[in-house]
Chain A
Amino acid sequence: MILNERMKVAGQREIARNIFELVLEGELADEIREPGKFVHVRAGETMDPLLRRPISIADYDDGRITLIYRAEGDGTRVISEKERHGQADVLGPLGNGFPVEAGAPGTKALLVGGGIGVPPLYGLSKRLKEAGVEPVHVLGFQSDDVVFYEEEFSRLGETHIATVDGSRGTKGFVTDVMGALGHEFSVYYSCGPLPMLKAVADGMQGTEGYLSFEERMGCGIGACFACVCRTDTNDPGYVKVCSDGPVFKAGVVSI
C-alpha cells in the first residue's frame, strides 16, 4: 500500500562530496516488497520548492529505509539539512522495482550502476545474495571524491569501480570494466544515466536484463503523464516511469 507518512529521521550523513545517506523510520518501510522502488519526498514545509523529489530506496528493513542522494538543486539541498529526530514527508513506496527472482540461485548476476543510479543496486544486491544469487558489481562515478558504498558493495560480492578521470579504480566508463570481466551472467540489472543504460544494454544483448529509468515527475503515481517514455513493444506505445517503472525489462523502453 502507498502511504504518505511523516517519517522520523534516524540519521543523516555526508558519505562523499555532496552525497548524503538519509535513514528514515516509519511504517512505510514495512510496505516495501522489492528493491528498486522509490519514494517521493517533500523537501520542506513551504511552497518553494514546490514539487516532491523522487529518490530510490537504497535499502530497507525493520521499519527503516535508507536513501542515498546527491544534494544538488534547491530541493535536495533542503533535504540534506534534515537532522536526526526531525521529520520527512514521504510518499511511497512507489513504482515497480527489480525482480530478484530473475536471477537463478547458484548463478551470477551483473549489477551496473552510474553515479546516483548506484543506490538502488545496494538493496538489490542484498536481496540477490539472500536468494543465493552471486552479485558482481560494476559502479561508475565521475571522480574519487564522489565514490560511495564501495566497502558495502564489496562485502556482498566482487566490486569494480570506474571513474571518468581515473582517480579511483579503472579509468573510463562502466562498459570498459564490463568488457574485461569474463564471467557468465544469468541476468543483469542497471541504473544510471541514459547513455550508460544504452551502452550496458547493447553490451549485454542476449542476456535477460532490467533497467531503471529516470524522468522528471509531477504526481509520481501515474496520474499526470509527466514522466512518459516511448516504447517499441507494448500496446499504447508508451509507459509511465513512475507507475509502470522505474524498472523495465531491457528492450521495453526505446533508448
Chain B
Amino acid sequence: MNRLQVELPGLSLKNPIMPASGCFGFGKEYAQLYDLSKLGAIMVKATTLEPRFGNPTPRVAETPAGMLNAIGLQNPGLEKVVTEELPWLEQYDVPIIANVAGSETEDYVAVAERISEAPNVHALELNISCPNVKCGGITFGTDPKIAGELTRAVKAVSSVPVYVKLSPNVTDVTEIARAVEAGGADGLTLINTLVGMRFDPRTGRPVIANGTGGLSGPAVKPVALRMVYEVSRSVSIPVIGMGGISDVDDVINFMSAGASAVAVGTANFVDHFVCPKLIDVLPDRLDELGIGNITELIGRSHRI
C-alpha cells in the first residue's frame, strides 16, 4: 500500500505533490531535469482558445520572500496544446490537470470541451482568478453568481471532473467556494496570486510593465493557509492547496489546514528539483510525525 496515495475526483495521485499552473509550462523544460512520472500530477499552463502573446516585459519582479508576475496568460492556444503539448506528455505516467482560461463563457466552454477529451487530461482547473488579463480571468472569480454559472456551463461539456481555481482577491472566499460547489464543481484549487505592485524609486514608476502583478511565493503562505482552512471547512468537495509551498512542513501544514493535495509554484524557480525532493522526504517526515497514511493529515486541524 502506497502511503502517499490520494484519491480525488478524476485523479488517482501516487503522491499529493504537483507543480502549479504557469510555473511548469507544459512539462518539457523540467523533463530535462527529472522524470515527470514521479509527480502526483501536473497542472499545465493556462490554455486559451486562441494563442496569446501576453503582457509587455518586465513581467516579473522580486519582492521580499516572493515575486510579482504579470505574464498575461501567454500560451500557444488550444489547437497547439491538444495536438502537440498534451500528446508529448503522454510518454509519462502522470495525470494532467488542464488549466482553462478565457475572456467569455463561450471561450471557457470551447476550450473545456475539447481539452477534456485528451486521453491524459484527468481533470480541468478553471482559471477564474488570473489577475493579469484585462477581461475574463479574475472578473469571473470575484462574483459568486458569475462563477457559479460559468462552472455549470463548463461542467455541462467537460468529460472529466472540473476543479475551480479561486482568487484570494475577494472579501469572502468561502462565498465563491460555495457558489462554484453549487454550480457542480468537483473540487477547488487555491490560491491564485494576490494582486500587488512594486515601484522603482528612481523613476517613480511600477517595476512591472503591466503596473500590477500577482504576488506568489513564501510571502503569501499565511494567507493561502487561512483560505484553504476556511474554504475546506465550508464546502464538501476536496481542495488542492497552494501558495508559497517550498518545504515538507508546508505540505504537512496545507494538508492539516484542509487540503487533500498540494501544488508548488514559485518554488520551482528557486529549486528546480523541489517537487521530486518533497516527494522523497515526505515518508520520513510522516514517520517522524507518527502518521501512517498521508490522507490522515487532511483537515486534521478541523477535528481539534
- Name A3's closest neighbour in chain B (CB-CB): B33
Tell me how many residues of A have a C-beta within 8 Å of chain B: 33
A219 at the interface (CB under 8 A from B): yes
Inter-subunit contact A226/B71 (CB<8 Å): yes
- Name B59's closest neighbour in chain A (CB-CB): A226
B272 at the interface (CB under 8 A from A): yes
Task: Return chain A residues, CB-CB under 8 Å to B30.
Answer: 221, 223
Interface hits, B66-95 → A, CB 8 Å: 66-67, 69, 71, 74, 76
Complex interface bits, A44-70 against B, C-beta within 8 A gives 1, otherwise 0? 000111111000000000000000000
Task: Return chain B residues, CB-CB under 8 Å to A238.
Answer: 53, 74
Contact of B67 among A50, A230, A236 (CB under 8 A): A50
- The docked-state distance in angstroms from the alpha carbon of A226 to that of B270 is 14
Interface hits, B113-172 → A, CB 8 Å: none
Stretch at the interface among B10-18, B20-28, B222-230: B20-28
Task: Return chain A residues, CB-CB under 8 Å to B273.
Answer: 4
Inter-subunit contact B65/A219 (CB<8 Å): no
Inter-subunit contact B74/A222 (CB<8 Å): no
B35 at the interface (CB under 8 A from A): no
- The docked-state distance in angstroms from the alpha carbon of A238 to that of B52 is 11
Interface hits, A86-141 → B, CB 8 Å: 91
Stretch at the interface among A7-15, A142-150, A169-177, A210-218: A210-218
Task: Return chain B residues, CB-CB under 8 Å to A216.
Answer: 57-61
Task: Return chain A residues, CB-CB under 8 Å to B266.
Answer: 50
- The docked-state distance in angstroms from the alpha carbon of A219 to that of B24 is 9
Given A226-B71, A228-B54: A52 and B76 interface contact (C-beta under 8 Å): no
A42 at the interface (CB under 8 A from B): yes
Q: What is the interface of chain A, defined by CB distance below 8 A to chain B?
A: 1-2, 4, 42, 47-52, 74-75, 91, 215-230, 236-238, 243
Chain A min CB distance to B127 (Å): 15
Task: Return chain A residues, CB-CB under 8 Å to B253.
Answer: none
B288 at the interface (CB under 8 A from A): no
| Most chain B CB within a 10 A radius of its CB, from A49, A215, A228 | A228
Chain B min CB distance to A157 (Å): 35
Q: What is the interface of chain B, defined by CB distance below 8 A to chain A?
A: 22-25, 28-30, 32-33, 45, 51, 53-54, 57-67, 69, 71, 74, 76, 217-218, 246, 266, 268-273
Total number of A-B contacts with CB less than 8 angstroms?
104
- Name A48's closest neighbour in chain B (CB-CB): B65
Inter-subunit contact A51/B62 (CB<8 Å): yes
Chain B min CB distance to A43 (Å): 10
Chain B min CB distance to A224 (Å): 6
Chain B min CB distance to A142 (Å): 16
Inter-subunit contact B269/A52 (CB<8 Å): yes
Inter-subunit contact B60/A218 (CB<8 Å): yes
- The docked-state distance in angstroms from the alpha carbon of A75 to that of B270 is 13
Contact of A226 among B64, B69, B218 (CB under 8 A): B69
- The docked-state distance in angstroms from the alpha carbon of A50 to that of B218 is 9
17 additional A-B pairs beyond A50-B217, A223-B23, beta carbons within 8 Å, are A4-B33, A4-B271, A50-B66, A50-B67, A50-B266, A51-B60, A74-B62, A215-B57, A217-B60, A218-B23, A218-B269, A219-B269, A223-B24, A223-B29, A225-B59, A225-B71, A226-B69
Task: Return chain A residues, CB-CB under 8 Å to B33.
Answer: 2, 4, 221
Write 8 A-B pairs (CB below 8 A) sorted by A numbering: A50-B67, A50-B217, A216-B57, A218-B23, A221-B29, A223-B28, A225-B25, A236-B76
- The docked-state distance in angstroms from the alpha carbon of A47 to that of B71 is 22
Task: Return chain B residues, CB-CB under 8 Å to A222.
Answer: 25, 28-29
Chain B min CB distance to A195 (Å): 16
Inter-subunit contact B269/A224 (CB<8 Å): yes
Inter-subunit contact B57/A224 (CB<8 Å): no
Inter-subunit contact A4/B60 (CB<8 Å): no
- The docked-state distance in angstroms from the alpha carbon of A243 to that of B28 is 12
Task: Return chain B residues, CB-CB under 8 Å to A224.
Answer: 22-23, 25, 60, 69, 71, 269
Given A49-B62, A226-B60, A228-B57: A2 and B32 interface contact (C-beta under 8 Å): yes
Task: Return chain B residues, CB-CB under 8 Å to A42.
Answer: 270-271
Chain A min CB distance to B18 (Å): 14
Contact of A221 among B32, B53, B246 (CB under 8 A): B32
Task: Return chain B residues, CB-CB under 8 Å to A223.
Answer: 23-25, 28-30, 268
Chain A min CB distance to B166 (Å): 22
- The docked-state distance in angstroms from the alpha carbon of A91 to that of B32 is 12
- Name B247's closest neighbour in chain A (CB-CB): A47
| Most chain B CB within a 10 A radius of its CB, from A2, A47, A75, A225 | A225
